[in-house]
Amino acid sequence: MSKKSQIKAIRGMNDILPIETPLWLAVERVCSDVFAKHNYKQIRTPLLESTHLFARSIGADTDIVSKEMYTFDDRNGDSLTLRPEGTASTVRAGIENGLFYNQQQRIWYTGPMFRHERPQKGRYRQFHQIGVECYGWSSPDIEAEVLSMLDQVFQTLGLQDTELQLNSLGDSDTRSSYRAALVDYLSDHKQSLDEDSQRRLSTNPLRILDSKNADVQLVLEGAPSILDYLSDESSESFSTLRGYLDDLGIGYTINPKLVRGLDYYNDTVFEWVNAGYGAQATVCGGGRYDSMVEQLGGQATPGFGFGMGLERLVQILQEQGADIADRAAQDAADVFIISTGSKARSQALQLQASLVAVDVRVQCHMGEGSIKNQFKKADKSGAAIALIIGDDESAAQTVSVKVLRRTAEPIAQQSVLQNEASKLVTNLLESL
């Protein structure tokens, strides 16, 4: 007989196991708490979108659209794509549902994103982001609010060695005159550029600033800075933002080479970087995108937001030994119910439901097993209290209550009516 071959997860798509989820839950809870306290509302959009959406918003020359998307035809022959990021879907949903019509919006989202990249540390094919998007403000105050929220999230999580990098890409006039100056400069050094950068010289020259190649970086040291090309308006807005951050006590460095991977940004862009983490050091990136809503068919509406990679954030926190995993998700049950026979089991299940209703965490023994055996399991489970429903208790509709946790004064086993057990148990739990 042939052995059945084992089915494995798809390369680059990870299971997040029960032992890992307490940390994930803590990160998600801290983010959603901080966002909610700033009055941001969550949006949930489909994982699948029409392929045009991403081509039109992210830009055809970007890495994402040119080589990373999971695109396929569905049964009707429509081209669909698993979302590679969250902004395009949020804008699509906003236009479709009139969210930008005479309104300003503070929105956040979370969920899986899909990119066909080479899997490595901090880079996967299914990964998770939490992101924020704000619509209807062109002023830098909203940018400061968003950066302040991130700062609060990182402080609450105890994230260390993280650095905020800031840049301004100016308006479209700035970018086109800067692009010309950059191409001018780099053309004179073409022989020192790698193949990738040479190709980008004609397709997407600003992305060359992002190059990790050491020779290219050397050439870039003498390149013109985009900050010298900003209009007065962009310059002033950028300086106002920096003033807000100074007043908030949020540190940052200006990085004129920060351009971000997506085509849609203007003016402020930023990344939060954790240098100790290796090549995939950017935890979070974002910026202003004032033309996207119009680009996708809505009325002109300024946008500002970020996407944060949860795998990277969780791994860094793990490596730093952060002590923030949600206790609730890690702890043992408070109570373990021991019972034998289907009548007693039925009573155990009812008891479990009534205890859960008053916020007690209960694990019920399931299946066969002698009382003695179940006691061993109760002890091992870490529960503070065992409730026993044997034949006698079952007949009398009572339950024996035994404290398993060591106490200064031993607490004797006692018996109560089942419908009075939750009061006794909650009192006992409070006193332990």
Residue closer to ligand ATP by CB (options 55, 360) is 55
What six digits make up the tokens of 301?
């509406």
> Which of 150, 117, 111 has the alpha carbon at shortest distance from 16?
111
Least distance from ligand ATP to the Cβ atom of residue 415, Å: 56
Least distance from ligand ATP to the Cβ atom of residue 124, Å: 4
Residue closer to ligand ATP by CB (options 208, 362) is 208
Please say whether the dihedral angle defined by the alpha carbons of residues 402, 407, 411 and 416, taken in this order, is positive or negative: negative
Q: E-assigned strands of 206-361?
A: 253-254, 266-274, 282-288, 303-309, 335-339
- Assign 3-state DSSP to the chain and report helix, strand, coil percentages, each to 5: 45, 20, 35
Least distance from ligand ATP to the Cβ atom of residue 301, Å: 21
Closest residue to ligand ATP using C-beta atoms: 309
- Chain mean position to CA 296: 25
Residue closer to ligand ATP by CB (options 135, 289) is 289
Least distance from ligand ATP to the Cβ atom of residue 38, Å: 20
> Which of 309, 308, 310, 233 has the alpha carbon at shortest distance from 268?
233
Looking at this protein, which amino acid is placed at residue 339?
A: S
> Which of 228, 229, 224, 211 has the alpha carbon at shortest distance from 172?
229
Residue closer to ligand ATP by CB (options 124, 238) is 124
Round to whole Å and give the CA distance between 325 and 20. Answer: 9
Least distance from ligand ATP to the Cβ atom of residue 289, Å: 12
Are the beta carbons of 102 and 55 closer than 8 angstroms?
A: no
Round to whole Å and give the CA distance between 397 and 418. Answer: 6
Residue closer to ligand ATP by CB (options 1, 9) is 9
**φ and ψ of 123, to 5 deg:** -140, 115
Are the beta carbons of 105 and 134 closer than 8 angstroms?
A: yes
Least distance from ligand ATP to the Cβ atom of residue 245, Å: 20
Are the beta carbons of 400 and 392 closer than 8 angstroms?
A: no
What six digits make up the tokens of 25?
């839950």
Residue closer to ligand ATP by CB (options 295, 415) is 295
Round to whole Å and give the CA distance between 187 and 181. Answer: 10
3-state secondary structure of 199: helix
Residue closer to ligand ATP by CB (options 291, 339) is 291
Least distance from ligand ATP to the Cβ atom of residue 263, Å: 12
Residue closer to ligand ATP by CB (options 35, 124) is 124
Least distance from ligand ATP to the Cβ atom of residue 129, Å: 5
- Chain mean position to CA 239: 30
> Which of 314, 305, 229 has the alpha carbon at shortest distance from 262?
305
Round to whole Å and give the CA distance between 63 and 296. Answer: 20
Residue closer to ligand ATP by CB (options 100, 272) is 272
Least distance from ligand ATP to the Cβ atom of residue 260, Å: 6
3-state secondary structure of 74: coil
Residue closer to ligand ATP by CB (options 283, 292) is 283
Least distance from ligand ATP to the Cβ atom of residue 355, Å: 41
Residues that bind ligand ATP (CB under 6 A): 85, 115, 117, 122-124, 127, 129, 261, 280, 282-285, 307, 309, 311-312
